[in-house]
Amino acid sequence: MVQALDQLETPALLLDKDILERNCSRMSQRMQQAGIALRPHLKTAKAREVARLATHGHSGAITVSTLAEARFFLEGGFTDILYAVGMVPSKAKAAAELQRAGAKLTLILDDPRTAQELGKAAAELETRFPILIEIDSGGGRAGVAAGSQQLLDIASAIHAQSTLELAGVMTHAGHSYHCRGPAEIAEVAEAERCALVQAADRLRQAGYPCPIVSAGSTPTAVHAVSFEGLTEMRPGVYVFNDLDQMGIGSCTPDDLALSVLATVIGHNRRSERILIDAGALALSKDVSAHEFFEHVGYGRVCDLSGKVVNGLYVESAHQEHGLIAAAEGEPPYEAFPIGSKLRILPNHACITAAAYTHYEVLQGNQPLARWERINGW
Ligand SMILES: Cc1ncc(COP(=O)(O)O)c(C=O)c1O
């Protein structure tokens, strides 16, 4: 039995199904028009129902950020899985178990010694791992430069291991998160593409295979002008979007599918704050949208119907308390009596969602279903 929205226990994670479906089909069509594969990253959604919507019309290939996600989605029927966090030999046994359970699991690495040791571990486990070499296209998080000697050293180390198969290259243009607007994002997207194409060309010229050329972040997938030379994109947060993506220019206010339902638990007239039962654990302490907006705090306030209340935001977040302030003057206490409910739009959907075991899925603001999430590692 699904309850009415105002009867749900709070904090709760609300997911608007219509917006989710629109976001998924827009990205799906964009990739189909570009003629490349969509391998959505499920680190944001961590739910099988979302994976089905996101892969609809595509091969069913997915990207994950944990082996727990890989297991969960494999059990849900998704077999073609890219584990897109640097692989280490200590995880080889778990990866081999996934293969035995039916996964076509591809791994990534950016170090020749790791390749050597992973090859040995694979031999002991009597298995073989397909590998993508991670390229740093400017984000500075992981990966080697496309023009570096390291790229060829890693390829050679992979090639020397009969238990590893060089399957291609991948990158994530994380620095697109600091762009402002489509033009800047398009530049980063082009840098992401060029780095990968350069790396793939160098590998092929050196005689190595490079069938997969895999790029992607939401901003670059949304605003890239060319996908030439790429075989697939791996956007993830586009399924929900958030205030940060809105600030970057990857989505509009109508594309925000996720919000946190909270209850008003107090009026602190001395400090001019409305208190809610959604604090740091329910919203996260991510303040990424500060780069783009004033008065955004730990999230913007909406009424129960999801309509933004101008100027209201979660100004501070204690473990279980959120304190709502108005951009100017006192917050509207009468509009939000103690016991009433409201919604908060998160800065960063991936991090906020991580606190919840499931989504309360809404259609036309009516709770429709609960979708399970796979948290943990
Ligand atoms: C390796 C990798 N690929 C793809 C993505 C998806 O990017 P986004 O979250 O911008 O959709 C991420 C996100 O962090 C990532 O780490």
| Best residue among 31, 43, 64 to mutate for probing ligand 1, ranked by most atoms within 8 Å of CB | 43
Distance 163 CA to ligand 1 centre (A): 28
Check for a shared fold between 5-11+252-371 and 17-238.
no
- Of all protein residues, whose CA lies closest to atom 11 belonging to ligand 1? 236
* Per-position pLDDT tens, the chain of length 377: 567 999 999 999 999 999 999 999 999 999 999 999 999 999 999 999 999 999 999 999 999 999 999 999 999 999 999 999 999 999 999 999 999 999 999 999 999 999 999 999 999 999 999 999 999 999 999 999 999 999 999 999 999 999 999 999 999 999 989 998 999 999 999 999 999 999 999 999 999 999 999 999 999 999 999 999 999 999 999 999 999 999 999 999 999 999 999 999 999 999 999 999 999 999 999 999 999 999 999 999 999 999 999 999 999 999 999 999 999 999 999 999 999 999 999 999 999 999 999 999 999 999 999 999 999 99
CA of 236 to the centre of ligand 1 (A): 6
3-state helix, strand, coil in the chain (%, to 5): 35, 25, 40
pTM, entire model: 0.96
Predicted confidence at residue 371, as pLDDT, reads: 98
CA–CA gap between residue 65 and residue 51 (Å, rounded): 14
Pocket of ligand 1 (CB under 6 A): 41, 63, 84, 172, 216-218, 234-238
Please give the CATH number for the structural domain made up of 17-238. 3.20.20.10
Pair of tokens at residue 38: 């969509």
Cβ atoms of residues 52 and 80 within 8 Å? no
Q: How far apart are CA 195 and CA 275, in angstroms?
A: 48
Q: What is the DSSP letter of 229?
A: T
Q: Which atom of ligand 1 is nearest to the CA of 216?
A: 4
Nearest CA to ligand 1 atom 15: 172
Q: What is the pLDDT of residue 1?
A: 52
Nearest CA to ligand 1 atom 5: 217
Which is the CATH superfamily of the domain at 5-11+252-371? D-serine dehydratase-like domain (2.40.37.20)
Ligand 1 atom closest to Cα of 65?
16
Atom of ligand 1 nearest to the CA of 177: 10
Closest CA to 131 of 101, 92, 188: 92
Q: What is the CA radius of gyration of the chain?
A: 22
Provide the pLDDT for residue 3: 75
Which secondary-structure segment (H or E) carries 6?
none
Task: Select from 109, 220, 234, 246 the residue to mutate for testing ligand 1; criterion: most ligand atoms less than 8 Å from CB.
Answer: 234
Closest residue by Cα to atom 16, ligand 1, is 172
User: Where are the chain's structural domains?
Assistant: 5-11+252-371, 17-238
Pairing of strands 366-372, 358-363: antiparallel
Give, using CA atoms, the residue closest to atom 2 of ligand 1: 172
Q: Which atom of ligand 1 is nearest to the CA of 220?
A: 10
Query: Which residue in this structure is represented by tokens 């570009």?
Result: 34
* 74, containing H or E segment: helix 67-75
User: How far does the centroid of ligand 1 lie from the alpha carbon of residue 117, in Å?
Assistant: 26
Question: Rounded distance, CA 225 to CA 223, Å?
Answer: 6
Distance 27 CA to ligand 1 centre (A): 14
Angle between helices 17-34 and 48-55 (to 10 degrees): 40
